[in-house]
């Protein structure tokens, strides 16, 4: 099985310091202190490796494997510099945060990207999300941005840490492929204005319907938080407020659903230019 590097160290005790550290990394403070985060699952780890993320460690437990491809993925991680550790079934159950673990868990370095590091095309297509609370929603939103071909996602005034395990999970690893910046709303708005990017923000109070507005050219779609919607700052400082017409219950659409509707209307319009 081990074609590359040394055979992995085996961890059998629930008291092993590495096991304890992996459990701690579910919380933000220990994550930030160590400057790393957890990546669990075959698909997520594969995507990290595809994008050249330098995984520091890879933990595995063959008794949890679902398929045949796990050893090759572990070897690939080792070849890229990750240290491998083999865990017993029970030990892995303790470090896994998924309900149905697949026997693979990696530790990746956190990163921080500044607005000015983003390389934007002439007709930039950006998604700005404000103070999203639920990690699952943020992950789903990243998937939508990836599917829609957004050039970047900018997370303003975050309530949820982008390195929360449930963001990684709900994003299915897309976290590694969509350029992501965390920044204050005021700075983001000033930067977009300077770059000539029009901001279209969704709010139920808007007069214009999202699909009746021109969404071509340099564009940032701005979405508010689950509970409070768009902040006063963005309501006052966006270029065009729009709304999504709704037929049913007032709260049928959550923020992730509203995001994907707006992004794909932009995709539709932009394909026509």
Residues that bind a second copy (CB under 8 A): 47, 140, 143-144, 146-149, 172-174, 177-178, 209, 211, 244-249, 251-254, 257, 260-261, 264-265, 267-268, 271
Is residue 63 a contact partner of residue 12, using CB atoms and an 8 Å limit? no
Taking the C-alpha atoms of residue 180 and residue 184, their distance in angstroms, rounded to an integer, is: 13
Return the number of the residue (52 or 248) whose C-beta is nearest a second copy: 248
Q: How far is the CB of 181 from a second copy (least distance, A)?
A: 18
Backbone angles phi, psi at 247, to 5 degrees: -90, -35
Please report how close the Cβ of residue 95 comes to a second copy at its closest, in angstroms: 21
Q: Is 196 exposed, middle or buried (0-12, 13-18, 19+ CB in 10 A)?
A: exposed
To the nearest whole angstrom, how small is the minimum distance from the Cβ of residue 267 to a second copy?
Answer: 7
CB of 140 to a second copy, least distance (A): 8
Select 11 or 213, whichever has its Cβ closest to a second copy.
Answer: 213
b/e string for 209-243 if b means 16 or more Cβ within 10 A? ebeebebeebbbbbbbbeeebbbeebbebbbbbbe
Closest contact distance (angstroms) between CB of 59 and a second copy is 24
How many whole angstroms separate alpha carbon 110 and alpha carbon 54?
Answer: 10
The Cα angle at residue 53 between residues 47 and 54, in degrees rounded to 5: 135
- Comparison of 7 and 248: residue with beta carbon closer to a second copy: 248
Question: Of 19 and 213, which CB lies nearer to a second copy in the complex structure?
Answer: 213
CB of 134 to a second copy, least distance (A): 12
Helix-helix angle 135-148:255-270, to 10 degrees: 10
User: d(Cα 62, Cα 150) in Å, to the nearest integer?
Assistant: 37
- The DSSP letter of residue 233 is H
Give 47 or 198: the residue with its C-beta nearer to a second copy: 47
User: Residue 15 or 249: which CB sits closer to a second copy?
Assistant: 249
C-alpha 16/C-alpha 205 separation (Å) is 54
User: Least separation, in Å, of the C-beta of 136 and a second copy?
Assistant: 10
Order across the sheet with 9-11: list the strands: 9-11, 83-87, 57-60, 104-109, 36-40
84 versus 266: smaller Cβ distance to a second copy = 266
- Smallest distance, a second copy to C-beta of residue 50, A: 10
* CB nearer a second copy, residue 14 or residue 253: 253
Nearest to 215, CA basis, from 265, 146, 258: 265
């Amino acid at each position: 099985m081990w074609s590359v590097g040394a055979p992995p160290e085996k961890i059998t005790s629930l008291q092993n310091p590495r096991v304890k550290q992996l459990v701690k990394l579910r919380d933000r403070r220990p994550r930030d202190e160590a400057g790393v985060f957890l990546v669990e699952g075959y698909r997520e780890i594969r995507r990290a490796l595809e994008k050249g993320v330098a995984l520091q460690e890879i933990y595995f437990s063959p008794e949890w494997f679902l398929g045949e491809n796990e050893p090759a993925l572990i070897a690939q991680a080792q070849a890229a510099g990750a240290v491998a550790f083999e865990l017993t079934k029970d030990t892995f159950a303790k470090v896994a945060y998924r309900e149905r673990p697949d026997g693979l868990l990696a530790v990746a370095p956190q990163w921080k990207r500044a607005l000015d590091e983003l390389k934007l095309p002439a007709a930039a297509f950006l998604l700005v999300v404000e103070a999203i609370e639920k990690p699952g929603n943020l992950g789903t939103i990243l998937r939508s941005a990836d599917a829609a071909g957004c050039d970047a996602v900018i997370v303003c005034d975050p309530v949820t840490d982008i390195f929360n395990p449930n963001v990684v999970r709900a994003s299915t690893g897309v976290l590694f492929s969509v350029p992501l910046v965390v920044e204050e709303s005021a700075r983001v708005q000033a930067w977009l204005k300077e770059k000539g990017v029009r901001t279209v923000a969704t709010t139920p109070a808007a007069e214009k319907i999202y699909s009746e507005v021109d969404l071509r050219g340099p564009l940032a779609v701005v979405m508010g938080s689950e509970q409070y919607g768009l902040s006063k700052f963005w309501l006052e400082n966006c270029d065009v407020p729009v709304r999504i017409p709704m037929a049913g219950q007032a709260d049928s659409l959550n923020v992730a659903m509203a995001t994907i509707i707006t992004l794909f209307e932009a995709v539709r319009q932009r394909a026509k230019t």
